[in-house]
A and B are shown apart, each in its own frame.
Chain A
Amino acid sequence: MTDKHREREWIHGLLALAASLLLLAAAPRREFFKGAVDFVGAILRYPEYPAVFIETTAREFVVWFAERQGLQERLKSLKEENEHLRLVWSMENARNLRRELDGFVRYARITLREPLSWWSEVRINKGRDDGVVVGAPALHNGFLAGRVSSAESGFAWVELLSSSSLMIPVVIEETRDLGVVAGDGDGGVWLLYVPENRMLRGGMRVSTAMVSEALPPGIPLGSLADERRETSDGYTAWRVLPGASLSQLYALEILGLHPSSQGSSSTGRPGS
């Protein structure tokens, strides 16, 4: 490059610098450049459109994603809150039921029912101290559900109708036929030792027969179902539909419980 060229370049450079400085000096007066700024903005709006579109789309996507994430977090927290509230509600319900059951005189709350002996026995929160005696009938909804098989000072065990080892002497109210009710251990209750020639039918009422003082006669037990089976020894077994809801027990009415002993014992026991 020649000196002449370089000299010319320097002159142009200095001119450009001077022009820049002049513009800079006039820059604070916005009215000079307002029109030019608007014009440049209007012209460049079109070539800049793709960039604006990409930027807007990306921003909207980010906002959408953030909102979605926020909604998911909110949903999660609401789920947790709902589960917590459900638990609190269930606990409160159980507490209310317990309080209600404890409030009934002569009623005992069921405190244990083991899965392995589900159809055989339950534990109640009343015992000898409350006047529970072995052999006392336990009722549910006014129907016989079982008998007290053992009683300790603070609790007792009740053997259920569906237990295969409990046998209750009964009478068919319509025909005055006698028989024995026993469970099969699987939730079924059967009327046994009824001679084949007896004219029984489904729907007939079954109640306890007079056998001993511990089990008074006339306590309703349920009714006969249509299902029956013949046994080899000349008897017919009839299925009994118990009046007590044996699959869903919360409390049992124990005959022989004294209100006075109930009150005295309930004060010192957390379950009562």
Chain B
Amino acid sequence: MIYLLSWYAQDFLWVLGAGKVLIPEIFLLALVFLSLFRSEDGVRILWAAFFGGVLWDLRWTGFPGVSSLFYVSTLMFVRWVWHSIPVSGRTISLFGFLLWSANMPVALGRIFLWGARGIGLWQAYLLQQSHIVPLVLLACAAYAWRLKKQDV
């Protein structure tokens, strides 16, 4: 359900922006968040990323496979990094950093495909980050809350 909701939220914002504003990758953010938050659901999240990406491409880019490739490869990389680190090293800041950096490739790819060049590229990037960073901080707060709950 959360996959559908996050995909729909991203789609809704994209329609609302009418292609004039680059909206944040809410779907990918939710996927990465869930993949780090619930380590055992890896396979399901990977296929959700694949189908979500294909659906997005069919709806918007008209080039099926681009978004799913980005989403799946990003998820695999993030999960590999996360599980390579011992449990004691999985801090809130690392969680936040992974969540934020997972957005980078697809964000830059979208900005480039969007047609932004020169100073417009920076403007689009900063605008996108202004949406992503609060969401990342919110996710960090949820992760911190979970860690605290586990300690108790």
Contact = CB atoms under 8 A, between A and B. Distances in A.
B16 A55 contact: yes
Nearest to A41: B59
Nearest to B15: A51
B146 interface: no
Contacts of B69: 17, 20-21, 24
Nearest to A23: B65
B63 interface: yes
A36 interface: yes
A202 interface: no
Contact of A1 (B8, B17, B40, B58): B40
Interface stretch (B41-49, B90-98, B99-107, B111-119): B41-49
Given A16-B49, A54-B16, A23 B43 contact: no
Contact of A20 (B15, B16, B50): B50
A40 B58 contact: yes
Interface in A21-76: 21-27, 30, 33, 36-37, 40-41, 44, 47-48, 50-52, 54-55, 59
Given A9-B79, A51-B15, A36 B58 contact: yes
Given A37-B58, A59-B18, A1 B12 contact: no
Contacts of A55: 15-18
Contacts of B66: 24, 27
A8 interface: yes
A5 interface: yes
Interface string A1-21: 100011011101100110111
Interface in B1-58: 8, 11-13, 15-18, 39-40, 42-43, 46-47, 49-50, 53-55, 57-58
Contacts of B133: none
Interface residues of A, number: 34
25 contacts: A1-B42, A1-B83, A9-B46, A12-B47, A16-B46, A16-B47, A16-B50, A17-B76, A20-B50, A20-B54, A21-B69, A23-B64, A24-B63, A24-B66, A24-B69, A25-B65, A27-B65, A33-B62, A33-B64, A40-B55, A40-B58, A41-B59, A44-B11, A47-B11, A48-B11
Interface of A: 1, 5-6, 8-10, 12-13, 16-17, 19-27, 30, 33, 36-37, 40-41, 44, 47-48, 50-52, 54-55, 59
Interface of B: 8, 11-13, 15-18, 39-40, 42-43, 46-47, 49-50, 53-55, 57-59, 62-66, 68-69, 72-73, 75-76, 79, 83
